[in-house]
Amino acid sequence: MIKQIIFSVIFLLASILWLNAQSLLEMQVEATTEEAGSVFTNSCSSPDQGVLVFKTAITGLSFELNMPDKLFNVRHNIQRNEYVLCVEPTARLYWITISGAGYEATDIAVRSIEANRPLFFRINPKLSATAQQLMVLGDNSFNNNQFAEAEAHYRRALSEFPNEELLHKLAETCLKQNKRAEAVEFLQRAAIINPRNEKTHQMLGRTYLEMRQFTNAAISLKNAIDLAPSNPEYREEMQRAIEGAPNRAQVNAEVGKAYFADGNYVEAIRYFTETVNLEPNNVEYRTLANNAARRSIVEPEMVFVQGGVFLMGNNNIAEEQPQHRVTVSSFNIGKYPVTQGQWQALMGSNPSNFKRGDNYPVENVSWNDAQEFIRRLNAATGKRYRLPTEAEWEYAARGGIKNQGYMYSGSNNVNEVAWYSSNSRGSTQSVGSKVPNELGIFDMSGNVREWCNDRFGKYSSGQKRNPTGRRTGSTRVHRGGSWIGSPQECRVAQRGHSLPNESRYNIGFRLVLQ
């Protein structure tokens, strides 16, 4: 009798906990629309179409839509884990059903599809009652340090309903029992279900490090950095993995290869260069570094900046007044300033005052010089690079739609994000060696000032959409502060200007790709 009462109480508590747990298992899909001139241009057959992008951690979803306007195509971008629907910009969505293995959601609200207006859909996993009860029992056992029993419950629940949360719980339970190889197996499965969870990659990296698998640890932590580039913890942990390896050169080379495979040639160059420094006579490592340098010439790494609205300028400083509302369309901007290696390869010379390496920003170039570089790059690649407008530059520097209101690009602490007069040691520094901003863009505060396309002139009041500056004027804008500047000059709102034929050892530039 007593046993029956105890069992009933446990079952009641489990049921209550299950109801709370169920809401935690809901997953959200965010849908936003972009103008067709953005990164998805090639996905749509007409430049007049809009692009509806569903961002979700869930793979294998299908969509049913009832729309009065023609639906042109649906595409799943596996790398970005997004579903892209090309529709007319004025389309109205009457209902949508999203479904997949173990998930379903229906939204029946009538709504307009307008650029940069997010739509939210909640995707509910169809958990069986058995899986729900087993998960709660596993949680209770885990909290009571009964890890073997918790593992048994979680394994049975996983057989009922495989999902990321259960795999994380199993990995944590195995780690508590020093079963690292099994923890790795569960985390790898979690990474397949949701490759965009940086915590999964961090847990993998830490576990590999405990197992002294330094290369795997560094690669896993590199994946976490890719997903959350502004988190310094991941970089510190990856550096510990590299420094702890018996053969640092080999681990650096493997990290460089991973970045190379991702198309991040600047980071690949960084790690290949470190490899060559450790083993200068290794021909293979030199070849890897040279290949990355050549690829980075024609394929500078870009960051997609989703369009939005922001307050441009600063009412406290005359040249930055008046602060005004600006709407900017989506665009792609260089993750780093143009480097000396990129300039040298394309132009055949290096005008920089500080010739310290291929990964340092090119400087001592005029606005006119930058235009000639762009002309040659466009001819070589068939693409349409240009300088950013001043509004695009400030919007990206502020973090775009992820803007946290920082004084500098990515932080209120200038030392975290900028090379300036007090920490630069009297020179430019390697690009990407400070913390990036909210969008993963480096060096928008400090290192070198950056040319913009606009002519300089006083701001006008009133709302603006994609402003391009004054139509007349003798000077061109440059932004961002530099290695020789003060913290005040590194602010995201600060403005400077020079004649287009002037070149200085603290001015460079970065590119925008149309």
DSSP state of 421: T
Per mean pLDDT, which range of 59-63, 167-171, 312-316, 354-358 is the poorest?
A: 59-63
Mean pLDDT value across the chain: 79
Alpha carbon distances (Å) from 195 to 29, 369, 477:
15, 42, 41
- Answer yes or no: is pLDDT of 490 > 70: yes
The average pLDDT across 288-297 equals 78
Report CA dihedral (192, 194, 196, 200) to the nearest 10 degrees.
-80
Fold equal for 27-125 and 302-513: no
Question: What percent of the chain shows pLDDT beyond 70?
Answer: 74
Helix (H/G/I), strand (E/B), else coil: 402: helix
- Answer yes or no: is pLDDT of 413 > 80: yes
Q: Report which of 234, 276, 230, 226 is spatially closest to residue 253, judged by C-alpha positions.
A: 276
Write down the residue that tokens 């579903």 correspond to. 83
CB atoms within 10 A of CB 10: 13
Cα-to-chain-centroid distance, residue 287: 29
In this prediction, residue 437 carries a pLDDT of 96
Rounded CA-CA distance 347/354 in Å is 17
The average pLDDT across 395-420 equals 96
Alpha carbon distances (Å) from 323 to 311, 315, 477:
6, 5, 17
In this prediction, residue 438 carries a pLDDT of 95
Per mean pLDDT, which range of 27-41, 202-216, 459-473 is the poorest?
A: 27-41
Question: What percent of the chain shows pLDDT beyond 90?
Answer: 59
In this prediction, residue 191 carries a pLDDT of 87
Q: Report which of 394, 387, 392 is spatially closest to residue 314, judged by C-alpha positions.
A: 394
Residue count of the chain: 514
Please report how many Cα atoms fall inside a 13 Å half-sphere around the Cα of residue 136, on the Cβ side. Answer: 20
Maximum CA pair distance of the chain?
93
Q: Which pair of structure tokens corresponds to residue 349?
A: 């010379």
- Answer yes or no: is pLDDT of 44 > 70: no
Q: Which pair of structure tokens corresponds to residue 373?
A: 């570089």
The predicted model scores a pTM of: 0.53
In this prediction, residue 72 carries a pLDDT of 36
The enclosing H or E element of 381 equals: helix 367-381
Task: Give me the residue spans of the domains in the chain.
Answer: 27-125, 302-513
Rounded CA-CA distance 143/150 in Å is 9
Alpha carbon distances (Å) from 280 to 70, 295, 346:
60, 22, 26
Angle at which helices 164-176 and 180-193 cross, to 10°: 170
pLDDT in tens, 5-43: 333 333 333 333 333 332 222 333 333 333 333 333 333
In this prediction, residue 231 carries a pLDDT of 87
At residue 361, φ and ψ (nearest 5 deg) are -70, 140
In this prediction, residue 13 carries a pLDDT of 33
Contact (CB, 8 A) for 421 and 486: yes
- Answer yes or no: is pLDDT of 213 > 70: yes
Write the CATH number of the domain with boundaries 27-125.
2.60.40
Q: What is the 3-state secondary structure (H, E, C) of 50-104?
A: EEEEEECCCCCCEEEEECCCCEEEEEEECCCCEEEEEECCCCEECEEEEEECCEE
Alpha carbon distances (Å) from 417 to 6, 166, 234, 402, 483:
58, 38, 16, 17, 12
Q: Report which of 472, 514, 512 is spatially closest to residue 370, judged by C-alpha positions.
A: 512
In this prediction, residue 151 carries a pLDDT of 96
Which of 1.20.1270.360, 3.40.1440.10, 3.40.50.10540, 3.90.1580.10 is the CATH number of 302-513? 3.90.1580.10
